[in-house]
Amino acid sequence: MAKKEHISETPATQFLRKHGVAFSEHPYDYEEHGGTAVSSRELGVDEHAVVKTLVMQDEAARPLIVLMHGDRKVSTKNLARAIPCKSVEPCKPDVAQRHSGYLIGGTSPFGTRKAMPIYVEESILALDRILINGGRRGFLVGIDPKVLVDVLQARPVQCAIVD
């Protein structure tokens, strides 16, 4: 299947355009449960620079978004301490979808259905450029990571588990 040069608008790309954010489009062949390992391989980029958007919830089931390096996992204990709250856990897929308005595998922090607090692993902000979901499976956008703080008011946290 030939790669498409342009992806139709998503709530995420509409959000970025509305806020005057420069971004590049990176479509790839999506694989079910392939995660950032597939997107980084398909696009020929370091998985560390591919940022995953995770919808989680605190002990009162209040949703939040965590942005994490593709090659790292979230320590929910460290995240709960940083926020601060008692506990944090991933939302079930149907709940995450309801909060974000996106399909699992296509979740973007931009243009979510519901406004949620956003937390970003601090070391992501030190990268020159990141690839992050553009609001559809098999579609990443390239942006300056400073956009996460400047436009989304993402709060830097340290909650990565380094394998």
**pLDDT of the residue at 8:** 81
Q: If we measure between CA atoms, which residue out of 117, 63, 114, 118 comes closest to residue 88?
A: 63
Say if residues 102 and 108 touch (Cβ distance below 8 Å): yes
**What residue spans of the chain are helical by DSSP H?**
11-18, 35-43, 76-82, 93-100, 146-150
Tens-digit pLDDT string for the chain (163 aa): 334 455 689 999 999 999 999 999 999 999 998 999 999 999 999 999 999 999 999 999 999 999 999 999 999 999 999 999 999 999 999 999 999 999 999 999 999 999 999 999 999 999 999 999 999 999 999 999 999 999 999 999 999 997 6
Question: What's the CA gap between 26 and 82, in Å, rounded?
Answer: 32
- The CATH architecture of the domain made up of 24-161 is Alpha-Beta Complex (3.90)
How far CA 116 is from CA of 9, 43, 50, 56, in Å, comes to 22, 29, 21, 10
Q: Where are the domains of the chain?
A: 24-161
